[in-house]
A and B are shown apart, each in its own frame.
Chain A
Amino acid sequence: MAAHDITPTRSVLLELKKKIKLSQSGYKIMKMKRDGLIIEFFEVLEKARAMRAGVASDFQAAMKKITIARAVDGEIAVRSAAYALQNYPTVKLSSKSIMGMMVPKVEAESIHTSIVNKGYGVIETSAYIEDAAAAFEKLLETLVRAAEVETTMKKLLDEIERTKRRVNALEFKIIPELKDSERFVKFRLEEMERENTTRLKHLKKKGAAAE
């Protein structure tokens, strides 16, 4: 809105003053939110880094164990043990709020199954297969936690970007424009005031001359 497009009246000036005040307090809050989100992001980033390292190491360990199980017991035995499994892992999704932003909360349910409840025989199922199953359960648990942290991190990044744009818009566009408009209205009102005074003086002079 160009400053010259507005009608220079006292009510407009009051409205503009209100808007400026609101924008300035909004700017302050947004800036605080942005800074808070950045601090939060760095905390989550650290967690995500550790989680990624955990996923990589758990994945390597699980792959090594499944390789050994497949090598020692054979593909048929490993596959057959997998067919016997009774419980399937489930994931519970909910959400939590970080500085007003909703982030997902992922909880894994029934990932770890006891050897006696897996669905296959305990006695003859090889220790290698059991070891590999335990390693994959651990990997899955880490993956679920990593999914939560990674999604939170991505959401935080998006929110920081959005907040940054709003802060910049307020700081460099909205507030300066409002101030410009305020200056224009003030100037116009003062000018009108001066015009009025001059007009009054002129009328007074005319009146005196007529008497």
Chain B
Amino acid sequence: MFRSTGKKGNYAYTSARVKAKKSKLLREEDYNKMLMMSVPEISHYISDAGYSREIADLATRHSGLDLLEYATYANMAKAFRSILLASTGELYDMVLAYLTKWDFWNLKVVLRGKSYGLAADQIREDLVPAGKLQEDSLNKLLAAGTIEDTLAVFSAMAHVHFPTEILNSYKDTHSLGDIEDYLVKVYYKNLLELFGTDTRPSLIFRNYIRSEIDVLNLETVLKLKAGGILGEAGMKYYVPGGIEIDEKLMLQMLTAPDMKTLEGSVAQIQIAADIKGVLPTNPTMQEIVAAMKQYEIGLANSVAHMYPLSVIPVFDYMIHKENEVGNIRMIARGTESGLDRETMKTLLVM
């Protein structure tokens, strides 16, 4: 999917730009302040923190929490776009590969909207053009008639090949599940192919991606267990490439008849040891997932200051920007819905 340009990237320039952007990100104390605010106050606060243009632009079409959500996504898309345009050579390839997740996200939104029968304009509202595909390309996706046509258009634009069994599975069941799961696997496969072990920064980021895959696989096991799916049937959802969770361990976890046995299998891996300290006794799935998200950001923080003139600061910024958008949305929606502060604090990823 990604062909490297072969040229070395402009690491120094992009890292300097990213460093300036990172200094503007909200910090823990900002989130603590926002937790005490009402929604209009939060809107005002984030306007001062760099979201004012997007809020003003979208204010004619949206209001309240929706405005806040769309504005934060638009701001993030703009920030990522500027990084992508500023980078060159192999750095550009790597940033592009990372941002493909937003292309996949948009494809999912389009497919789901179309399968429900929504009009193109309604679907367009929910798109986040933070990846390679910009407005024109997304419009082409929206203009495609059927799900099959949409996949064909996407395939041509993003160079993603959809195997016949995935397409047949959709034809037979009209379920988007297999397509969506395939996209996740393709995304991580491409990232791991692009981030080799040749340089230390690349290896560090590769390991971060592999840990992310472990977290994803662990979350999949928890979801499948909660849904009563045990054993071999769950292996379809295994994403290869993780550091600790290989196929054998995944199957072992999936075949565990109860949570106690699962705990025994999970105990072997580092994530479990690291999150155990922050979890209460008998944690809920939500608490485990929240702890895993904290673990992921902790992992990103631990390598953030290594190799300042490499790919690491760029990805560190993008990860933190995504978290910032998630945190703002979480605080605003949580405040509006009367969620208690303690729950919101658990859900904040800092």
Give residues in A with beta carbon < 8 Å to B: 63-64, 67-68, 70-72, 74-76, 79-81, 83-84, 86, 114-128, 130-131, 134
Q: Which of B112, B183, B334 meets A80, CB within 8 Å? A: B112
Question: Is B286 in contact with A134, judged by CB distance below 8 angstroms?
Answer: no
Q: Which of A67, A84, A115 meets B339, CB within 8 Å? A: A67
What residues of chain B lie closer than 8 Å to A75, measured between beta carbons?
65-66, 69, 333
Q: Which of A67, A79, A116, A125 has the most chain B CB atoms inside 10 A of its CB?
A: A116
**Provided the pairs A75-B66, A83-B115, A127-B223 are in contact, do residues A121 and B184 lie with their beta carbons within 8 angstroms?**
yes
**Provided the pairs A127-B222, A127-B286 are in contact, do residues A122 and B177 lie with their beta carbons within 8 angstroms?**
yes
Question: Is A116 in contact with B183, judged by CB distance below 8 angstroms?
Answer: no
**Provided the pairs A68-B286, A123-B239 are in contact, do residues A115 and B229 lie with their beta carbons within 8 angstroms?**
yes
**Provided the pairs A80-B112, A120-B177, A123-B239 are in contact, do residues A67 and B227 lie with their beta carbons within 8 angstroms?**
no
What residues of chain B lie closer than 8 Å to A84, measured between beta carbons?
111-112, 115-116, 176
**Provided the pairs A76-B69, A121-B177, A130-B226 are in contact, do residues A83 and B184 lie with their beta carbons within 8 angstroms?**
no
Question: Is A119 in contact with B333, judged by CB distance below 8 angstroms?
Answer: no
Q: Is the interface of B mostly helix, strand, loop or mixed?
A: helix
Q: Which of A68, A124, A126 meets B184, CB within 8 Å? A: A124
What residues of chain B lie closer than 8 Å to A117, measured between beta carbons?
175, 177
Please give me the residue from chain A that is nearest to B289 by CB atom. Answer: A127
Question: Is A72 in contact with B347, judged by CB distance below 8 angstroms?
Answer: yes
**Provided the pairs A71-B347, A84-B115, A130-B223 are in contact, do residues A76 and B109 lie with their beta carbons within 8 angstroms?**
yes
**Provided the pairs A117-B175, A121-B183, A122-B181 are in contact, do residues A67 and B116 lie with their beta carbons within 8 angstroms?**
no
Mask for B215-237, Cβ within 8 A of A = 1, else 0?
01001101110111100010001
Question: Is A67 in contact with B219, judged by CB distance below 8 angstroms?
Answer: no
Q: Shortest beta-carbon distance, A69 to chain B, in Å?
A: 9
Complex Cα distance, B177 from A124, in Å, reads: 10
Which residues of chain B from 179 to 200 have a CB within 8 Å of any chain A CB?
179-181, 183-185
Q: Shortest beta-carbon distance, A122 to chain B, in Å?
A: 5
Known: A114-B227, A115-B227, A134-B227. 7 other contacts (CB 8 A): A71-B330, A71-B331, A71-B344, A72-B347, A79-B126, A83-B116, A121-B184
Q: Shortest beta-carbon distance, B169 to chain A, in Å?
A: 12
- 27 pairs, CB–CB < 8 Å, chain A vs chain B: A71-B333, A71-B337, A75-B65, A75-B66, A75-B69, A80-B112, A80-B113, A83-B112, A84-B115, A86-B173, A114-B227, A114-B229, A115-B224, A116-B177, A119-B115, A119-B177, A120-B177, A120-B180, A121-B179, A121-B180, A121-B183, A122-B177, A123-B181, A123-B237, A123-B239, A127-B226, A130-B226
What residues of chain A lie closer than 8 Å to B113, measured between beta carbons?
80, 83
Give residues in B with beta carbon < 8 Å to A: 65-66, 69, 73, 108-109, 111-113, 115-116, 118, 126, 128, 173-181, 183-185, 216, 219-220, 222-224, 226-229, 233, 237, 239, 285-286, 289, 326, 329-331, 333-334, 337, 339, 343-344, 347
What residues of chain A lie closer than 8 Å to B183, measured between beta carbons?
121
Q: Which of A64, A83, A114, A126 has the most chain B CB atoms inside 10 A of its CB?
A: A83
Q: Shortest beta-carbon distance, A82 to chain B, in Å?
A: 8
Identify the 10 closest CB pairs spanning chains A and B, nearest first.
Answer: A121-B180, A115-B227, A83-B116, A71-B333, A67-B337, A83-B112, A84-B112, A71-B330, A121-B181, A127-B289
What residues of chain B lie closer than 8 Å to A63, measured between beta carbons?
337
Q: Shortest beta-carbon distance, A127 to chain B, in Å?
A: 5
Q: Shortest beta-carbon distance, B345 to chain A, in Å?
A: 12
Please give me the residue from chain B that is nearest to A84 by CB atom. Answer: B112
Complex Cα distance, B126 from A124, in Å, reads: 18
Q: Shortest beta-carbon distance, A87 to chain B, in Å?
A: 10
Q: Which of B227, B329, B344 meets A116, CB within 8 Å? A: B227
Q: Shortest beta-carbon distance, A129 to chain B, in Å?
A: 10
What residues of chain B lie closer than 8 Å to A83, measured between beta carbons?
112-113, 115-116, 118
Complex Cα distance, B116 from A80, in Å, reads: 9
Q: Shortest beta-carbon distance, A210 to chain B, in Å?
A: 112
What residues of chain A lie closer than 8 Å to B185, measured between beta carbons?
123
Please give me the residue from chain A that is nearest to B179 by CB atom. Answer: A121
What residues of chain B lie closer than 8 Å to A114, measured between beta carbons?
227-229
What residues of chain B lie closer than 8 Å to A74, measured between beta carbons?
69, 73, 326, 329
Complex Cα distance, B216 from A118, in Å, reads: 19
Question: Is A123 in contact with B220, judged by CB distance below 8 angstroms?
Answer: yes
Q: Shortest beta-carbon distance, A137 to chain B, in Å?
A: 11
What residues of chain A lie closer than 8 Å to B326, measured between beta carbons?
72, 74
Complex Cα distance, B116 from A83, in Å, reads: 5
What residues of chain A lie closer than 8 Å to B111, measured between beta carbons?
84
Q: Which of A81, A86, A134 meets B174, CB within 8 Å? A: A86
Question: Is A120 in contact with B184, judged by CB distance below 8 angstroms?
Answer: no
**Provided the pairs A76-B126, A80-B126, A83-B116 are in contact, do residues A67 and B334 lie with their beta carbons within 8 angstroms?**
yes
What residues of chain B lie closer than 8 Å to A86, measured between beta carbons?
173-175
Complex Cα distance, B337 from A201, in Å, reads: 102
Please give me the residue from chain B that is nearest to A75 by CB atom. Answer: B69
